[in-house]
Structure 1
Amino acid sequence: MLIVFEGIDGSGKTTLSNRVAQELRQAGLRVRHVREGGQLASPVSESLRRFTRDPANLALTPMAELLLYAAREAQLLDEVTRPALATHDIVITDRFFYTAEVLARWGRGLPETSVRPVLDACARGLKPDLVFLIDVDPTIARARRKISKIITPKPGAPSRKGLAGAGLQVRLRAGYRTLAEESPGRWSLVENAGLPLEVLVTRLVQDILHVRGDQRLPAPASRASATPTVRSLSEARARFLAHIDRWMDEEPALAAYYLARFDGEDMAERREQLAAHCPELVAYSLTGLVTPAAWRLRRRLAEQAPVQTLGSLTDAALAAPESWGLRELLVKRAPMEVAASLNGLDSEQAWNLRERLFFAAAENVVASLQRIDSERAWGLRLRWLADVGGKEALGLERVARTACRSLRGLDGERAWQLRELAWSAAPDAVLRSLEGLEGPPSWRLREENVARAPRAVLDSLAGLDHPRAWALREAFGTQCEEALNSIEGLEGVAAWGLRSVLADTWPAAAAKSLGPLETTARGIAFTERLLAQHPEDFALLRHAARCAADTTQRLRHASA
């Protein structure tokens, strides 16, 4: 019996499939999970997986990508899955050929007539007995992936698939749901939100046992109901807090994550309750905050969560007087993170700390020089480059990525020479380094690569009010919410036009793109209209909750 778990990244399918395998073994069944622990049982398939994830392979075409995904699954099928079906009661796989189909058709736009024959030839008639589609709002899925990275930071490059932007996961989810609707007898939709893990595992195990007995459980009664309309920012904040309070019991990590950048006594109280359970995420949630309560909590959590505490020193907290005390407290324990917390700082205090940290954390010291174009900064860059092997070392991915982080926002001949040498090893990092640049080489590089890496290109347009920037945004705006992220705070006909066109596709991003405009009469009306039309959109609800707090604070200052 072949059981497949499918779903977008962050849906929880890997966790659920591994737990289900354990429970079925305890029930006395011989179970083989071909991706137990998150790694494919075939070394060849795992190598192909790493190749398709590598952002250095930016030029990979949609058809070539499909063939590689198909090869990965075909190798796993022939090497592991088919033999296991002959010797085990149940074989479980986390992803099947459906992943390749959804990515190719809904993700990359290849026609079904090109995709299906390839995958059918690889499957050679084998079909799963049951497919569990683990379904979740892409916003929640993204949060769960970020939570894992915050708790256990992992060095290395982002995945190539992530360069397509947040819109890819939305399209993939639609593709999976379409396949499930086409084959309701084989597919089972499982919503992974609002239910404890143990409840979901028990349900899945029961479904499998019933199918083995040639019985199917009756379809559960639909719990879907219309989401009440949200009429104001204050209502949005109340509803957001209701979500947070439910998650504090059911999924405290998610609750702590979503408190990020929220100020106010009510938020501080919730952080206090969560601090013992999720110290890393509570420290992360203090990002950019400069209230006395935030500094007290940082000092409390510094020993338990030094990486996340230092990571919270951004925006107004970056150069605040209290931040230097924290850096001194943690400089020996977390030198890499202390160096990273100096991003863009050009003060004498920052330079003195860089000199102290250079031998212990050279890469992060150099990366912290972004947007600093002084001779002093260039001297440190070239010193580091000489230590790692000279300009030839820019052909190595790790060196190339560090150099590109250091070059972010810098123009000029020296910066472009290093970018050219780094391109083959880390093209996505080169594109990100173009943030804010408006010279001819920047536009050429963006326009040549926007189809391959729209997210990296659109992120580099942040704050640019330039005709070529608007052309790139409009070309990919319907597929990438990053087009809206890049116009945060921009006002004018083009900015409001793009917000209006994309508001129903990306309501949360449209509202967030207002930036400081969110507390104006026009901004409030825009957000409240979106709330009325999309009351179920949690990301929009969260943004509106922050907007409510900002508006209240502005009114208090005005009255004072």
Structure 2
Amino acid sequence: MLIVFEGIDGSGKTTLSNRVAQELRHAGLRVRHVREGGTLASTVSEDLRRFTRDPAHLALTPTAELLLYAAREAQLLEEVTRPALAEHEIVITDRFLYTAEVLARWGRGLPEGVVRPVVEASARGLTPDRVFLMDVDPALARARRRISKILVPKVGAPSRKGLAGAGLQVRLRSGYRTLAAEAPERWTLLENAGVTLDQLVQQVVQEILQARAGAAPSARTGRPPPSSVRSVEEARARFLQHIDTWMTEEPPLAAYFLLGMEGADMMERRKRMAERCPELVAHSLAGCSDEASWQLRRQLVDTAPRQVLESLSQEFADAPEAWALREKLIALYPREVAVSLSGLDSEQAWRMREHLYFASWEGVITSLAGLDSPRAWADRLRWLSDAGGEEALGLENVARTGCRSIRGLDGEQAWRWRERAWAIAPDAVLRSLAGLTSTRSWELREQHVARAPRAVLSTLDGLDHSRAWALRESFGAQCEEVLDSIFGMEGSAAWGLRTALADTWPATTVRSLGPLLQTPRGRALAERLLASNPQDFALLRQAARGAPDTSLGGLHATA
């Protein structure tokens, strides 16, 4: 019996599939999981997986990507899965050829007539007996992935697939749901929200045992739709209702979603979670500079020092409280202290960089982003000389550090570095174009925006330039990062984009308002979207920023 788990990145399918395998073994069944622990049992398949994830392969076309994904699964099927089916009662796989199909059709836009023959040829007639689709709001999936990175930072390059932006996961979710609806006799949709992992494990185990006895998947009833939300005040109350539920059921998620949220009602919840989730509570203080936030940083500095330093946003990175925290942590966390100096050009910052250079040259060089002074270039050239000269920019770690350091710089020296780094870290080169308006920066963006929209759009933040607007408008409704790039911007072009994209990306539309959320026009847009999307938690969160502290007005969520 072949059991498949599918879902978007961060949906929880890997964790669930591994737990289900364990439970079935405890029930006395012979079980083989071909991706146990998150690693494919075929070395060839795992190598293909690493290849498709590598952002250095920016030029990979959708058709070539489809063939590589299909090859990965075909190799696993022939080398591991088919032999395992002959020896075990149950074989479990985390992802199947459905992944290749959904990514190609819904993710990259290839026609079904091109994709299906490739998938069918790779499967050679093998069809899973049961498919469990872990269905989750992409905003929750993204939050869970980020939480894991906050708690255990990952070393290395970002995934190539992530360069497409958040819209990709939304399209993939739609694709999986479409396939599930086409074959309800095989697919079971599981909602990974509002239910514990133990409950999901037991549900799946029971369904697998019933399937072995010939039973069809049990019918699922959807949750009743939530009541309407009529104002930003109600949105704030409803948002806090979610936070209070997660504080019991999934505290890390509750702490994460308080990121940048201001007010005594938000701070009261941070304090209640500070002991259980110190790292995530500290992370949530980014952008907060009131006295209560500084007090909480000082309270958490021993249990979450790295996250406390990372919360020192540039707006208040030069505050006396920030310097006191750096002095306390400089010996133990030199890299994080160095990175927290990003963009600072004061004598105090330069003295600290010099002190930290040998302890964390990477952090020091990264902190020079946006600084084009002779002093900054002297430090960069000193570092590059120590690394082996400009040829060293052909090494991935050196290239990525160098590109972070020249972010926002348009001089000849910066462009020489970009040329050297392109072959090994093209995504980092693209991100280094932040804020640039020179002809060659536009040409580089326009040449590669189709394959790395997220990286390119991130460089347009706040740019009111005709070529910036042309790039934004070229995406239609595919990339929510278009909206991120117009944060707080007024004018007919910005409002036109918001109007065009609001119904596709309601939460990001409201986030793009920034301080405009406090204006009558901004509030009206937010409340229109709330009325039609009361179930959208990300929208509730963004709209909540436009409401006063609920602890002051005694508001309660509408039932």
Q: What's the TM-score bracket when you normalise by the shorter of the two chains?
A: over 0.9
1:100 & 1:251 partners in 2: Cα distance?
Answer: 32
Aligned AA (1:529): R
Kept in 2, the 8 Å contact 1:4–1:132? The answer is: yes
Displacement over 6 Å in runs of 4+: 550-553
Aligned counterpart, 2:247: 248
Q: Does 1:97 align with 2:93?
A: no
Q: 1:411 Cα shift?
A: 0.8
Paired residues of 1:340 and 1:367 also in contact (CA < 8 A): yes
Q: CA offsets, 1:36-92, max 9 Å, x none? A: 111111111111101100000000000000011011111111111111111111110
User: Is 1:115 matched up with 2:115?
Assistant: yes
> Are the aligned partners of 1:409 and 1:437 in contact in 2 as well (CA < 8 Å)?
yes
Match of 1:378 in 2: 377
In structure 2, the gaps of 5 or more residues are 553-559
Distance 1:183 1:223 in 2: 18
Deviations 1:379-432 (A, max 9, x none): 000000001110001111111110110011111111111111111111011111
Residue 456 of structure 2: SS of its match in structure 1?
helix
Determine the C-alpha separation between the residues in 2 that align with 1:159 and 1:319: 33
Q: Report what 2:555 is aligned to.
A: none
Corresponding residue for 1:26? 26
Matches within 5 A, 1:44-443: 44-216=44-216, 218-220=218-220, 222-443=221-442
Distance 1:552 1:248, change over 3 A: closer
SS of equivalent to 1:548: coil
Tell me if the contact between 1:70 and 1:122 (Cα under 8 Å) persists in the aligned partners: yes
* In structure 2, distance between residues paired with 1:443 and 1:165: 20
* Mean CA deviation greater in 436-445 or 295-304: 295-304
* Shift in Å, 1:276: 1.5
Q: In the aligned structure 2, how far is the partner of 1:312 from the partner of 1:218?
A: 47
Q: Is the 8 A contact 1:435 1:460 kept in 2?
A: yes
Residues 289-311 of structure 1 show CA distances to partners (whole Å, capped at 9, x for unaligned) of 11222112212211211111111
3-state DSSP class of the match of 1:465?
Answer: coil
CA distance in 2, matches of 1:83, 1:138: 35
Equivalent in the alignment of 2:465: 466
Alpha-carbon spacing, 1:36–1:73, altered in 2? closer, same or farther (3 Å):
same
Task: State the alpha-carbon separation in 1 of the partners of residues 229 and 150 from structure 2.
Answer: 32
Separation (CA, whole Å) in 2 of partners of 1:213 and 1:422 = 58
2:185·2:216 contact (CA, 8 Å) conserved in 1?
Answer: no
Letter in 2 for 1:472: L
The alignment status of 1:3 with 2:3, answered yes or no, reads: yes
Q: Amino acid of the residue matched to residue 51 of structure 2?
A: F
Q: Give 1:524's aligned residue.
A: 523
Counterpart AA for 2:505: W
Give the match for residue 487 of structure 2: 488
Mapped partners of 1:223, 1:212: distance in 2: 26
- Aligned-pair CA distance for 1:315: 3.5
Q: What's the CA shift for 1:217?
A: 5.3
Cα drift, residue 224 of structure 1? 2.4
TM-score scaled by structure 2?
0.97
1:542 corresponds to which residue? Answer: 541
Aligned mates of 1:318, 1:47 — CA distance in 2 = 42
SS at match of 2:528: helix
CA distance in 2, matches of 1:273, 1:235: 23
Distance in structure 2 (CA, Å) of the matches to 1:155 and 1:313: 22
Which residue identity does 2:338 align to in structure 1? Answer: A
Question: Is the 1:519–1:551 Cα contact (8 Å) retained in structure 2?
Answer: no
Cα contact 1:247–1:254 (8 A) shared by 2? yes
CA 1:189–1:93: 2 relative to 1, 3 Å: same
Q: Which residue of 2 aligns with 1:455?
A: 454
Looking at structure 1, the residues matched to 275 and 204 of structure 2 have their Cα atoms a distance apart, in angstroms, of: 32
**Residues 151-201 of structure 1: CA distance to partner in whole angstroms, max 9, x if unpaired?**
101121110000000000000000000000111101100111000111111
Letter in 2 for 1:40: L
Q: Which amino acid letter does the alignment assign opposite residue 286 of structure 1?
A: L
Q: Distance in 2 between matches of 1:532 and 1:458?
A: 29
**Deviation of the 1:317 alpha carbon:** 3.2
CA contact (8 A) 1:477 1:484 kept: no
The amino acid that maps onto 1:102 is V
State how far apart, in whole Å, the 2-side matches of 1:482 and 1:5 are. 29
Q: Which secondary structure does the structure 2 equivalent of 1:476 belong to?
A: coil
Percent identical residues: 69
Offset of residue 520 of structure 1? 1.0
Secondary structure, counterpart of 1:404 in structure 2: helix
Deviation digits for residues 117-151 of structure 1 (CA, Å, limit 9, x no counterpart): 11111110001000000000001111011001011
Contact in 2 for aligned 1:31/1:91 (Cα 8 Å): yes
Q: Is the 8 A contact 2:2 2:130 kept in 1?
A: yes
What residue identity is the alignment partner of 1:509?
T
Task: Say what the alpha-carbon RMSD is for the aligned residues.
Answer: 1.3
Higher relative contact order (CA 8 A, sep 6+): 2
Matched residue of 2:545: which SS?
Answer: helix
TM score, norm. by length of structure 1:
0.97
C-alpha distance in structure 2 between counterparts of 1:428 and 1:391, whole Å:
19
Indicate if the aligned counterparts of 2:186 and 2:217 stay in contact, CA closer than 8 A.
Answer: no
Conservation of the 8 A alpha-carbon contact between 2:369 and 2:405: yes
